[in-house]
A and B are shown apart, each in its own frame.
Chain A
Amino acid sequence: MQTLLIIVGVAAGVAVIAYISALISGLQASTLTKTLGAQGHVTLRSLDDAVVPAALAQAGASTLTQTQPRAQRLRSVINWQTLVPVLEAMPGISDVSPMVSGAGLALRGEATQSIALLGVDLDRYDRIVGLRSKVISGVARLAPGEAVVGRELAADLGVRVGDRFTLQTGSVSDSVRVSALVDLGVRDLNRRTVIVPLRAAQSLLGLPGGATNLDLRLHNVWTAQTLAADLRRQYPYKVESWQENNAQLVSALNAQSVSTAIIRGVVLVVVVLGIASVLVVSVVQKQREIGILRAMGTTRGQILRVFLLQGAVLGAVGSVLGLALAVAMIWLFTTFVRGSDGLPLFVISLPLATGLQVAAIATVCGVLAAIAPARRAAAMDPAQAIRI
């Protein structure tokens, strides 16, 4: 009965560890996908305008200055056309997409909405953020005079695919036709985003032939910081990784990972203590049997191995049951926990490698938990054990 209870206990512990691991992995993957689904892994811009002293300060001379920071104007990345193929040839970078971005207004009838205007080469931009997969209506196409619009902005303006509205930036305005509506995964982005051809944005934002930034997609998202640092050293540009652009998100993900590790550690300690307590009781209960086995010529090593094996078996059997329970919990989550659109909140699964890793850790913990009781059993004086 004790053995059955502790196996159930180990199974519960393993299930919690496996389920939490899968849940947090799924949540983080979903968050990353949404975050990186609307931006490059690394973004390269021109350096900010800064106030430069007219003359260097003379040694020993006092200078009285009050520096007013300069307002930043829209500027192009210098030589971006030359830079694109250079970046594309660099290892680690899979795609490069030039973009002209700036603020503007979208007007239709009495509706006026402030917008983020993005001018892109559609094919290149699609490789960065997968724009075509985000289309909910129409066809992603950016012929001259066409625009792709965020879902909420379209609702605010009262436009559908095929309708026209006016884009205005400063004194320049242009009429565009909606070719597609997109869901970028973030409501705020859907409310502000208008994507037009690169050339149209250059014209609207007064940046002929220019690109305000280059978005880079990497083979491995986690190399973004290193690559950004390398590019900063090599080129006179402002280079930012997605981690730097989403510092709060990265902190939250780290906090999540640490919390998960703590929970897993605590559960493992509980599992170890549970197995150890059962084995300690088992050793006490089986003193007489241990004594008789020792009298019959069982070595201390054999007694030690019996209890270590018992710990490993408890851990292994509990792991198998626990993993089955975790799979059932994941199925329940993906089946019954759904968003307002009726779809699962995010995909979670238990990879085989994670399952095997958790099972191996639980089995090792079983052996570790058995060390003290096994040593006690092996050290037992046979004559005394038989007398009890």
Chain B
Amino acid sequence: MAQDTPTASTGPGALIHVEGLRKSYNLGLPSEAEVLHGLDLQVGRGEFVALMGPSGSGKSTLLNILGLLEPMTAGSYRLQGEEVRGMDDANLTLRRRSTLGFVFQFHHLLPAFTALENVTLPALMREGRVTAQAQAHARALLAEVGLAQAENKRPAELSGGMQQRVALARAVVLNPPLVLADEPTGNLDQASSAEVFALLRRLHAERGTSFIVVTHDPRLAARCDRLVELVDGRIDHDGVTSRPR
């Protein structure tokens, strides 16, 4: 494995500190299969990491585990210094709400809600209601991603790139320290893809949010600060990117 130590803060106090992470499916069955084989990974605050690898290498599984959506089979995962392995569902839900933002390949906006309502949804989940302040913040964020005029439109009335920008605004609306993006440009044309990626970089620069972005596109990966490559459930490469952003 090629290892080029990143410059961001690492160690036990890192934002993400993973040691010996293993993930198996169908445990105890003849079909049991281990897809992640003892990964060690640290991500510091403010890092912008690209996660690459061929299909079936375990990228999405790793992202789900980092996003507290799936349990690991073995190993240790400390998020903001706190061990999450063994936490119950209520605690994991609380951590997801307070620490993480998600952007998916398919935007996953709620079709019955307007763009503004989709962006205020995390506040609604957290507070149980949408305050005027939360609504103003969401409105400002939509303006920041260039969708001030589209706040009352439903997802079906927006282009793919616009939908993904709404999803991005929703992911960062509560200022989480970490955003996990699973192929956020995978379903977009080249122009929209470049536009959305530029937005990711801008939000990162302005807010200092950490991003882990799964991508198949080497050109986009090269524009990240750090590249982690997975092959067959193992980290094959982890280092700073060589190309300019």
Interface of A toward B, CB cutoff 8 Å: 288-289, 291-300, 302, 381-383, 386-387
Contacts of A295 in B (CB 8 A): 67, 69, 96, 102
| Interface set, chain B 87-139, CB cutoff 8 A to A | 89-90, 93-94, 96-98, 102, 104, 108, 110-111, 121-122, 125-126
Interface majority SS (helix, strand, loop, mixed), chain B? helix
Q: Does B70 contact A (CB under 8 A)?
A: yes
Q: A289-B110, A386-B108 are in contact. Are A297 and B69 (CB under 8 A)?
A: no
Cα separation A250 to B94 with both chains bound (whole Å): 63
Number of B interface residues, CB 8 Å?
22
A293 pairs with B69, CB closer than 8 A: no
A382 pairs with B69, CB closer than 8 A: yes
Contacts of A292 in B (CB 8 A): 102, 104, 108, 110
Q: Does B187 contact A (CB under 8 A)?
A: no
Closest to B170 in A: A296
- List 5 extra interface pairs beyond A295-B102, A296-B170, A381-B70, CB under 8 A: A295-B67, A295-B69, A298-B125, A299-B90, A300-B90
Contacts of B96 in A (CB 8 A): 295-297
B64 pairs with A296, CB closer than 8 A: no
Contacts of A381 in B (CB 8 A): 70
Among the listed B69, B97, B126, B170, which residue makes an inter-chain contact with A383, where contact means beta carbons less than 8 Å apart?
Answer: B69
A297 pairs with B104, CB closer than 8 A: no
Among the listed B70, B90, B97, which residue makes an inter-chain contact with A296, where contact means beta carbons less than 8 Å apart?
Answer: B97
Contacts of B60 in A (CB 8 A): 387
Cα separation A302 to B127 with both chains bound (whole Å): 12
Closest to A300 in B: B89
A298 pairs with B108, CB closer than 8 A: no
B125 pairs with A293, CB closer than 8 A: yes
Considering the complex of A and B, which 7 residue pairs feature the smallest CB-CB distances, nearest first? A297-B97, A383-B69, A292-B108, A383-B64, A383-B70, A297-B96, A382-B69
Cα separation A293 to B97 with both chains bound (whole Å): 10
**Most chain B Cβ neighbours within 10 Å, of A293, A297, A386:** A297
Among the listed A298, A383, A386, A387, which residue makes an inter-chain contact with B93, where contact means beta carbons less than 8 Å apart?
Answer: A298
Closest to A295 in B: B102
Cα separation A381 to B126 with both chains bound (whole Å): 20
| Interface set, chain B 59-85, CB cutoff 8 A to A | 60, 64, 67, 69-70
CB distance from A93 to the nearest CB of B (A): 60
CB distance from A303 to the nearest CB of B (A): 10
Contacts of A297 in B (CB 8 A): 93-94, 96-98, 122, 125-126
Contacts of B125 in A (CB 8 A): 293, 296-298, 302
Cα separation A29 to B122 with both chains bound (whole Å): 58
Among the listed A298, A299, A386, which residue makes an inter-chain contact with B69, where contact means beta carbons less than 8 Å apart?
Answer: A386
A296 pairs with B121, CB closer than 8 A: yes
Contacts of A291 in B (CB 8 A): 108
Contacts of B64 in A (CB 8 A): 383
Closest to B97 in A: A297
| Interface set, chain B 24-80, CB cutoff 8 A to A | 60, 64, 67, 69-70
